[in-house]
Amino acid sequence: MGMGISKSDQHANSPTVYNGENRMLIDFFQNLFMRNLVSKNRRRLLVGGYDLDMSYITNHLLAMSFPFQNIGAIFRNPLSHVKTVLDMKHHGCYKVYNLCIEQSYNSSNFHGRVEVYPFEDKYVPPLSMIKRFCESVYSWLSRDSRNIAVIHCMAGKGRTGLMVCAYLVYCGMTVDEALDLYAEKRTTNIEGKANAVVFYWSKLLSFAKHPFYANAPPQVNLPRSNYRELRRNRLYDMTTNKSVFFSIFELQKLYGDIRVEFYERIVGRLFYTCFNTAFIKSSFLQLKLCDLDKVGLKGWSLCGSDFCLELLFEPVNAV
């Protein structure tokens, strides 16, 4: 008694062979699926046969994720596709603003029209950087009614949303109007700290409006920031205490954007906080754990949910 194997049975277990055209289609849909998965709830743009993670906030502001040239293009926007679409729709009339500190590309990819305003993800940029950014975008868009500004960070969400909303407020929108427009056109996931920065920026702008020219851009004057390490203090045996108080005997004169960082000797940075002296209205500033930036697991375990940071100031004329 034997078993016969037909030709069809032989082919049933053999591997499927795809020709070049089928392989390209499979790769296309796999990459498309991955990009849509990564972009989550961000609005996407279908144009020229490309499905890109980009959105028009206004007719002159375009927000997008990072344009990659390497393997990152599987998950994000392929740079070649972005360039093709921008050249097709806005030939000679676009400038790209890169907010990433962790990634870059050659500006020649976009005909040299690239400006970089780098700051870390989930980090508050200096107000001086927001000022320079808004002034640059305003200047570029004012040159020609056809010009657009293309703004991106890595995901085209948090940092991009902060700077886009800051510019919308710079141009006269209220904070709520700017945030609502960005949520409608791009995504609703803008962190509370970014909202707070836009709010502070709007307060600063309210004092900078030109008294005679309603359509003129605000003339913002900020204190010059230090951009250098002012002082480093070391604390010992802090984990057994419910509170730690230390004084800086050689008082430092602070102005502009200030960043205070806290480190643990072994694990490194625990957290940091940022503020601008323009918004220090009293001698006491209290920051809860939710107000601090980049709090890691070690920071949470050392500090606890009830932790707060208190900073005491003296006016300059008292020093």
The whole-angstrom separation of Cα 42 and Cα 184 is 10
Rg, C-alpha atoms of the chain: 26
Going by C-beta distance under 8 Å and a sequence separation of 6 or more, which residues neighbour residue 222?
Answer: 127, 128, 131, 204, 256, 276, 278
First to last CA, the chain: 106
34's enclosing H/E stretch is: helix 20-39
Contact 253, 316 (CB under 8 A): yes
The whole-angstrom separation of Cα 191 and Cα 153 is 15
Q: Which amino acid is at 188?
A: T
Place of tokens 């509170």: 243
Q: Report which of 182, 158, 40, 166 is spatially closest to residue 99, judged by C-alpha positions.
A: 158
Among residues 100, 153, 165, 274, which one is catalytic?
Answer: 153
Query: Is-catalytic flag, 303?
Result: no
The whole-angstrom separation of Cα 115 and Cα 74 is 25
Contact 115, 98 (CB under 8 A): yes
Q: CA 272, 128, 134, 84: dihedral to nearest 10 degrees? A: -60
Contact 64, 150 (CB under 8 A): yes
Sequence-ordered strand ranges (E) for the chain: 45-47, 50-52, 54-58, 61-64, 67-68, 77-78, 94-98, 114-116, 148-152, 257-264, 268-276, 284-288, 308-312
The whole-angstrom separation of Cα 118 and Cα 268 is 23
Q: Please list the active-site residues.
A: 153
